[in-house]
Amino acid sequence: MDVEEERPDARFWTSYDHFMIEREARAIRRRELVALAIAVWRKVKSGTAESLRHAGAQPQKVRLEPR
């Protein structure tokens, strides 16, 4: 059985078929975009924390000496 034989003939597609294909494509693009945004956010967040550690950022120390 050839791959071409298994593929549906686009000449017989209904408006609903086209609608569902576009709907699935939008869902796939949305998932990819969300995954990309999450990956970028994690990279920025970890990079910011890493840069603060390398910059010598430390919490302020409380002085207990009387003036």
Which tokens in the block code for residue 51?
């840069």
Structure tokens that stand for 65 in this block: 């000496």
- CA pair distance 28, 5, nearest whole angstrom: 26
Three-class SS state of 36: helix
Q: Residue 2's pLDDT is what?
A: 64
Q: How many Cβ atoms from other residues are within 10 Å of residue 67's Cβ?
A: 3
Q: pLDDT tens, position by position, for the chain (67 residues)? A: 566 677 878 788 899 999 999 999 999 999 999 999 999 988 888 877 666 666 665 666 777 777 6
Query: How confident is the model at residue 55, as a pLDDT?
Result: 61
